[in-house]
Structure 1
Amino acid sequence: MKARILVIEDEMAINDLLCMNLEAAGYETVGYLDGNDASEGVAQGHEFQCALVDIMLPGKDGYTLLPELKKFGIPVIFLTAKADVTSKVKGLKDGAEDYIVKPFEMLEVMVRLEKVLDRYGTAPKQIQIDDVIIDTVSHIVTKNGEEIYLKPMEYNCLMVFVKNQNKALTRSQILQELWKEEFCGETRTVDAHVGRIRKKLSWQDKIKTIPRIGYRLEVDL
């Protein structure tokens, strides 16, 4: 079962961007551009595993929506241009799970969303892309029902692509996500991981090389 993510953001371009990337990563999304509409919609159907919420909204603002969403057990990540410490402290003290300041990178949003879903036990247990199934609990990868052995770093690299389907990633972005800190080594290390993943999963045409940038995992939506 796919996790359902609520997106409440009044800028249509950002709302569309979030929903598009989330759906490409295997989530279901419901988007609202207005706080009042979101409040009414959630009251009627509140089966969501997380909500990405702007603070400055027409109608009810994010701070007002927070207790309503919490009442239904929906964890909230604020996505906002309000970068001052006072706003951050208020959001977190009021019960938001995380606070991301605009402009943001989708990779960061995906990682933080995953952490919240993990805490609440609602992260997807299996991810399927064509004939490949990834069990995120056991870290077992199968293709056409046959287990494919991936070394730990290869598996982690695969998951970076899976969580960022159809998005071009630089080698530096991939390495930063793999090492969780500034990587000082050779960025071409990524090429070796990608080469082995391509060979083992027969994904030579699925993980595309993007000249002068890096790589992109292409998945049909």
Structure 2
Amino acid sequence: MAHLLIVEDENSINDLIAMNLTLVGHTCEQVYGGQHALCYMKENRYDLIIMDIMLPEVDGFTLISSVPKNTPVIFLTAMGNLTDRVKGLQLGADDYIVKPFETIELLARIEAVLRRTNRSMQLFALDDTVVNLDSRVVTINGSEVDLTLREFELLEILIKNKNIALSREKLLKLAWNYEYSGETRTVDVHIQKLRKKLNWEHRIKTVYKLGYRLEVDS
């Protein structure tokens, strides 16, 4: 997956972002001030930088001018007024997220930026299964597995949020963009089909009274 730099002076938020990035397969480094961020950017290459604006030493609006060319930036900040959002985007940020934020939305925004900048991993392998997220081809031991469009869309959401428990409501909204109805078993039916087709009975876990989680070894 991708290698990211988190520039956030609030330890709890920095750690929360890092934990969730690691859970879905990314690697990351954490810094807590603008000056340290400058040093890290000079010495390392990152696929994406998540950056607060109100930072000690050097603020995010100033710091973004030192970001290496073609490295995408997402501002993650409490500064939510229109003027600040416009300024952040005009300075070159690829996205602007206002605190407080939902973790699942942050991960989705990160994936969208990585996809736009061609820095996201296109292949996902687990056990004997390989999923090509670009061509939408799934193979087991080299033999192609036939998935319906909806089965693949659900599989893609599980992969992008691996090791994270997702409710049925969230899966329906992310995979098929419509609200959950308590009377439908759409997610359950498609999960059962995926488990059977991919031999993932032990991988797609049922989360009691919530939904499902694709379990991937660290």
- Give TM-score scaled by structure 1 length: 0.91
Long gaps (5+) in structure 2: none
Which residue pairs with 2:100 in the alignment?
103
What is the CA-CA distance between 1:152 and the residue it aligns to? Answer: 1.2
Matches within 5 A, 1:1-221: 2-45=1-44, 47-69=45-67, 71-180=68-177, 182-183=178-179, 185=181, 186-221=183-218
Q: Distance in 1 between matches of 2:46 and 2:54?
A: 21
Closer/same/farther in 2, CA of residues 204 and 65 from structure 1, 3 Å limit: same
What are the Cα deviations for residues 115-161 of structure 1, in whole angstroms up to 9, with x where unaligned? 11122122212112232211111111122222221111111111111
Q: Distance in 2 between matches of 1:126 and 1:174?
A: 21
Long gaps (5+) in structure 1: none
What is the CA-CA distance between 1:197 and the residue it aligns to? Answer: 0.7
Which deviates more, 53-62 or 185-194?
185-194
What are the Cα deviations for residues 152-171 of structure 1, in whole angstroms up to 9, with x where unaligned? 11111111111111111111
TM superposition outliers: structure 1 runs of 4+ over 3 Å: 184-187
Q: Distance in 2 between matches of 1:94 and 1:3?
A: 23
Structure 1 SS opposite 2:4: strand
Letter in 2 for 1:183: E
Kept in 1, the 8 Å contact 2:169–2:180? The answer is no
* Residue correspondences, number: 217
What are the Cα deviations for residues 96-132 of structure 1, in whole angstroms up to 9, with x where unaligned? 1111112222221122112111221222121122322
Kept in 1, the 8 Å contact 2:7–2:49? The answer is yes
Letter in 1 for 2:32: L
RMSD over aligned CA atoms reads 1.6
Closer/same/farther in 2, CA of residues 132 and 24 from structure 1, 3 Å limit: farther
What are the Cα deviations for residues 4-25 of structure 1, in whole angstroms up to 9, with x where unaligned? 1111112222222222222222
Q: Distance in 1 between matches of 2:27 and 2:184?
A: 33
Closer/same/farther in 2, CA of residues 143 and 12 from structure 1, 3 Å limit: farther
- Give TM-score scaled by structure 2 length: 0.92
Structure 1 SS opposite 2:189: helix
Q: Distance in 2 between matches of 1:11 and 1:199?
A: 44
Which deviates more, 16-25 or 87-96?
16-25
Which deviates more, 35-44 or 142-151?
142-151
Kept in 1, the 8 Å contact 2:153–2:176? The answer is no
Structure 2 SS opposite 1:123: coil
Letter in 2 for 1:29: C
What is the CA-CA distance between 1:187 and the residue it aligns to? Answer: 4.9
Structure 1 SS opposite 2:30: strand
